[in-house]
Structures are given as structure tokens and as C-alpha cells.
Structure 1
Amino acid sequence: MTRILILTGDAGESQEIYYAKFRLEEEGWQVHITAPGSPGDVFLSVVHDFEPGHDTYTEKPGYRVTIDVGLDEVDPASYDGLVLPGGRAPEFLCRRPQAVSVVKAFAEAGKPIAANCHGPLLLAAAGVTQGRTLTCYPDLEFLMSQAGARFVDQAVVVDGNLVSVRGWPDNSPWMGEFVKLLKARKS
């Protein structure tokens, strides 16, 4: 059975976590959410939206999310793909060696990785963006360039095993391309 890992945590974007989880489960695949903590622990996701008169997104409380596997117990070898939702979770996960190690293991194994919005911050922290073409939340263009990536401002970018999008409005093409990569790898 295909197994997918979603790496997120407090202030992860609700729409990116749950859209990915439910879309991948529709394929009949097993999806585990990992975050700092223990299985059964709950963290609060957020909803980012765009309001007239604001220079950037606003943040509202999202859904409670249950951890399936604690971050410290993750074995990347037992999963076929990795999902990196955005929100603010990637900002603090970048400072957690285990989170960075998980991302690096998936990248080094050439397994499909789906990164949304601020999710590419974890790719940069793992040192796997050099020479890669990707997209992300547009305000991160400078950071991605500093990490050696080529930023493209479009709905979805596929570069080898990496699928990236700008934010939750691009969820459909994000998971569409990720599913294609996973199916191609399994065939």
C-alpha cells in the first residue's frame, strides 16, 4: 500500500493539510500526519485568507489536527511520498533537526515531495533547493533565490520529484501533479 507522510504542526495551513490528506486517501492510500509531539496529541491549524486593505494574508484559527506519528519516531524509509503544507509551521519546523532530517531523507531517496506556500522553507533548510525550479508564496522568492532555487510565479511547478505551488488556491493542481508522480513511481 502507498503510504504518505504529511509534515506540519502548530499554525500549519488547514486547507493545505486537510485537502492533501483527503485527496490522497481518495486514492486508497494511507496518510499519516506527523508533527512535534506524540501520537494522539492535537495541534491547532490556521486559516490564511486575503482581506481587502491588507498587504499580506490574515490568520484565523483553523481546525484541530491529531498527530498520527510523532516527529521523533518517523522512519522516512517506510513512506512513499512527503507533503509539506504551508502556514507558519514550516518557519518553526526549520529549526528542528528531525524535521530537516526527514525532508532531506525523502529528497535524497528521490521520493515525491509536494510543497505548498511556506512549505519550501523546509526544502531550503534541508539544503535541497540548489538548482531546483519551484514556486511558493511569492513573498518567499528572495529566500528561495538565496537558497539556490529558481522561483517561478505560477500555479504549479514540477521539477523532477518536487511539486510546488504558491498557496491553498492552487491545491487542486498541487495534488493532481503529486498523485501523478506517485503513480508513475509505483508503476
Structure 2
Amino acid sequence: MARKKILFLTGDFAEDYETMVPFQMLQMVGHEVHAVCPGKAAGDKVITAIHDFEGDQTYSEKRGHYFVLNASFADVKPADYDALAIAGGRAPEYLRLDRKVIELVQHFFSAGKPVAAVCHAIQILTAADVVRGKKLTAYPAVGPEVTQAGGHYEHVNIDEAVTDGLLVTAPAWPAHPQWIAAFLKVLGTRIEP
């Protein structure tokens, strides 16, 4: 397997599982993963939020864990990375306001590199104007944004993922097995028994 260098974008109040699980799983299979957040450096922490589905009309939110970043956002050169992964939760709502975040995302799409986004992370993709004509999914409340941005929103079960070329999306953390497996496939990662 060719080891890939993956940029992982997260931030304060990103969803806990959507930060911890992909970061650790991508490392587990041998990839180099740099977790970054605008305005923060390697060794700084972000606080996550735990979103759960408890039968209410929307998810509930509780304070999560501290997650230590292992790279500095200011040092990121997108050309140095093979792929991008973006955590969901509330962080994308404000991360999409950062011009450098938008430029990073646009680089990965224009360079034809794999991108994985989960849940509300798709808000960053719509803000970057990179979903036009693409088939993707997101947390259902983000579906109208996908449509307004010219994407083809796919309503799938919460534990399913959608792949369109090099773009892999999922509605929320229950889809991790499918979402991460699909991203590994797009990356060309093979796991041998």
C-alpha cells in the first residue's frame, strides 16, 4: 500500500466521533494524517461535541473531548497532501467563513484529489462552490444547501455513504464503516487479511 499524506480539517465543536474515528482509522491503516484547525498550531486542542440521535426532532449535543492537533494550520501547503478529510459537527459552520479553508478545499477539487466529508462538513464544500453537478449526501438539514449549490443531494440512510468520483460523503457518524471504507477505496488503500 502506498502511504498517503492526508490533511484532516476539524475545529472547535466538531463532532467527537467524526473527529476522533476517521483521524485514528486513517492512521491505523498506515496513512500520515495532519489534523489542523484555523488559528491553531500543532499541540493546541479543539473541544469536540457529541451529537446523538435520541428520538428528538434533531440531534442532541453534549460537550465532547479535547482533541490535540498534530499540525499547524498556518503551515499547510495543500500541494503537499494527497487527500482531504473534513469532520462534521458545528465547526464547519464557522470554518467555511475562513478564506484559506475555502481555498484549500478548492485546491483538492481542482487538483483531482480525493475528498471525504461527513455530516455538516458538506457546508464547507457548498461554500467553496465545488459540489455543482456532483452526487453527494450530508446531514439532512444540509440537503437544501447542497441543492442550492448545484449538487445532487442523495437522501440515504444515516449509516450509508455516497461516492461520486473522488468525493466520498456521509450523513453522520453512524456511516463511518461505509464512509471510511469508501474513502480508503478511493485512496487506493488495500487492507490485506
* Bin for the TM-score computed over the shorter chain: over 0.9
Give 1:71 deviation, angstroms.
2.0
8 Å CA contact 1:71, 1:98 repeated in 2: no
Q: Which runs of 5+ in 1 are unaligned?
A: none
Counterpart-to-counterpart distance in 2, 1:173 and 1:51: 22
Counterpart-to-counterpart distance in 1, 2:116 and 2:4: 15
Give 1:70 deviation, angstroms.
2.3
Q: 2:125 is matched with which residue?
A: 123
Q: 2:176 is matched with which residue?
A: 171
TM-score (norm 1): 0.94
Question: Is 1:41 matched up with 2:44?
Answer: yes
Q: Which runs of 5+ in 2 are unaligned?
A: none
Counterpart-to-counterpart distance in 2, 1:38 and 1:21: 17
C-alpha RMSD over aligned residues: 1.1
Q: 2:11 is matched with which residue?
A: 9
Secondary structure of 1:68's aligned partner: coil
TM-score (norm 2): 0.92
Give 1:72 deviation, angstroms.
2.3
Matched residue pairs, number?
183
Identity of aligned residues (%): 38
Give 1:146 deviation, angstroms.
0.4
8 Å CA contact 2:11, 2:37 repeated in 1: yes
**Counterparts of residues 58-137 of structure 1 (less than 5 Å):** 58-137=60-139
Secondary structure of 1:10's aligned partner: coil
Counterpart-to-counterpart distance in 1, 2:70 and 2:83: 16
Deviations 1:133-161 (A, max 9, x none): 10000111111100001101121110011
